[in-house]
Amino acid sequence: MEIIEVPVVIVGAGPAGIATAGCLNKLNIPNIVLERDDCNASFYRKRTHDNLKLHLDKKFCSLPHYPIPPSLPNFVTRVQFLRYIESYVAHFNVAIKYNRAVESAVVYERSNKWRVVAKDTSSGTYETYVSDFLVVATGENSEGYIPEIEGLDKYDGVYMHSSKPKEGPFAMKMKNGTTPIIDMGCVKKIKNRQVKVFPAILSIEEAKTVQFTNGQRAQFDIIIFATGYRTNVLSWLQDYEILFNEDGMPIPSYPNHWGGEQGIYCAGFSRLGLEGISYDAKNIANHIQYTINLRESFNH
Ligand SMILES: Cc1cc2nc3c(=O)[nH]c(=O)nc-3n(C[C@H](O)[C@H](O)[C@H](O)COP(=O)(O)OP(=O)(O)OC[C@H]3O[C@@H](n4cnc5c(N)ncnc54)[C@H](O)[C@@H]3O)c2cc1C
């Protein structure tokens, strides 16, 4: 297995990973970003509607040291934001390795170094990265969450999370112009009783029968779970408890959430959107620089 040594490994090439790499590059601290997808900002590229606009003014959405240009409107479109991300990556010369799904990360107490194993999904081979610092930037919303429901494994219909609209019969519904997700017309349809609202699901009975907590039963061909998202930190970061709790969120609360012991940091876990990401990225880069300087002064 190939072993690559680098001072800082950043996992995830969304806005948080890219912003952290940009801040580190500004300080001349070598780093590498590992991204499981084949592109950067994959959330905005692949999982959002084409007509999405950022819902906050651009002054709250710029990444550090490189504002969204004045020529753009205050509320930038998805495409404008993606172009901005591209120019940020080029401006700061951010090094991203695509198709690298990180499968494990452990810290070796004796050397205090991180060992990060990534699968190159294009070749099926594995690489090991050895680093002094690890930045977790895999997102607050990296995995669709489907709750445990009794009988779901025996359900005869199709079920999926709402984050997967390109799969299965939901795609056909999208082509025909009707989507069962909450949009601007949904509340009206609920009021007109065109869309029925049921209470929580209690269990799935035989075939396609769903039982609700009020005792009602009904049959459905498709169940789409719009039940939120979770972080995926616990699935790959073995030594997560240095910084994260059992829900995959940082243990320290804001504004101290971004750093733990043993060279681990997280960017993009403040629940404060892109403004929070900028705050994290700047703090992480400055703290890494401070730690490197401190170590060097001890060694002299
Ligand atoms: C619909 C929507 C609109 C939003 N609009 C705004 C807005 O207007 N303003 C604002 O401030 N915020 C907004 N946000 C919030 C926030 O800015 C975004 O969620 C943003 O994408 C978060 O960036 P991130 O880098 O933390 O995470 P992500 O964009 O999710 O990036 C994480 C990256 O990590 C990669 N990854 C995950 N696991 C692994 C692994 N094991 N190995 C390698 N790579 C991995 C993923 O592929 C992904 O590329 C919005 C959020 C949503 C859901």
Q: How far apart (Å, rounded) are the C-alpha atoms in residues 254 and 8?
A: 23
Terminal C-alpha separation, the chain = 35
Degrees (nearest 5) of the Cα angle 59, 97, 67?
15
Range of the domain at 176: 147-225
Residue 136 beta carbon below 6 angstroms from any ligand 1 atom = no
Residue 182: predicted pLDDT: 53
Task: Give the mutation target among 142, 145, 238 for probing the ligand 1 site: most ligand atoms within 8 A of CB.
Answer: 142
Q: How far apart (Å, rounded) are the C-alpha atoms in residues 215 and 268?
A: 41
Residues 131 and 258 reside in one and the same domain:
yes
Residues 79 and 157 reside in one and the same domain:
no
Tokens of 174: 């999208």
Residue 32 beta carbon below 6 angstroms from any ligand 1 atom = no
For the residues of 167-205, what is the DSSP string, one character each?
SHHHHHHHHTT---S--TTHHHHHHTTSS-----EEEE-
Query: Number of structural domains, the chain?
Result: 2
Per-residue pLDDT of the chain (300 residues; tens, 9 = 90+): 889 999 999 999 999 999 999 999 999 999 999 999 999 999 999 888 888 899 999 999 999 999 999 999 999 999 999 999 999 999 999 999 999 999 999 999 888 899 999 999 999 999 999 999 999 999 998 888 899 999 999 999 999 988 765 545 444 444 444 444 555 678 888 889 888 999 999 999 988 999 999 999 999 999 999 888 899 999 999 999 999 999 999 999 999 999 989 999 999 999 999 999 999 999 999 999 999 999 999 887
Q: How far apart (Å, rounded) are the C-alpha atoms in residues 140 and 271?
A: 8
pLDDT digits (tens, 9 = 90+) for 123-172: 999 999 999 999 999 999 888 889 999 999 999 999 998 876 554 544 44
Tokens of 193: 């009783």
What percent of the chain clears pLDDT 70, i.e. is strictly above it? 93
**Domain's final residue, options 204, 225, 246:** 225
Task: Give the mutation target among 23, 32, 36 for probing the ligand 1 site: most ligand atoms within 8 A of CB.
Answer: 36
**Domain's final residue, options 196, 225, 254:** 225
Distance 39 CA to ligand 1 centre (A): 13
- Give the position of tokens 């403004």: 275
Q: Is 265 exposed, middle or buried (0-12, 13-18, 19+ CB in 10 A)?
A: buried
> Which strands sit side by side in the sheet containing 264-266, from one edge to the other?
96-97, 31-34, 8-11, 133-136, 264-266
Distance 18 CA to ligand 1 centre (A): 11
Instruction: State the DSSP code for 237.
Output: B
Distance 136 CA to ligand 1 centre (A): 12
Residues 113 and 60 reside in one and the same domain:
yes
> How far does CA 160 lie from the centroid of its chain?
19
For residue 272, the ligand 1 atom closest to its alpha carbon is 11
Identify the helix (H) or strand (E) that includes residue 120. Answer: strand 113-120
Residues 115 and 194 reside in one and the same domain:
no
Give, using CA atoms, the residue closest to atom 29 of ligand 1: 14
Q: Look at residues 186, 155, 181, 185 and name the one whose alpha carbon lies nearest to residue 170.
A: 181
63: number of Cβ within 10 Å: 24
Give, using CA atoms, the residue closest to atom 8 of ligand 1: 54
Residues 128 and 274 reside in one and the same domain:
yes
Q: How far apart (Å, rounded) are the C-alpha atoms in residues 170 and 294?
A: 55
Residues 125 and 8 reside in one and the same domain:
yes
Its sign, for the CA torsion 3, 4, 6, 11, is: negative
Give, using CA atoms, the residue closest to atom 52 of ligand 1: 48
Residues 125 and 196 reside in one and the same domain:
no
For the residues of 139-160, what is the DSSP string, one character each?
-TT-EE-----BTGGG-SSEEE
* Cβ pair 212, 200 in contact under 8 A: yes
Residues 167 and 217 reside in one and the same domain:
yes
Q: How far apart (Å, rounded) are the C-alpha atoms in residues 136 and 237?
A: 9
Distance 30 CA to ligand 1 centre (A): 23
Residues 44 and 175 reside in one and the same domain:
no
The answer to pTM > 0.95 is no
Q: How far apart (Å, rounded) are the C-alpha atoms in residues 132 and 107?
A: 9
Residues 250 and 132 reside in one and the same domain:
yes
**Domain's final residue, options 225, 241, 268:** 225
Residues 90 and 205 reside in one and the same domain:
no
**CATH of residue 10:** 3.50.50.60
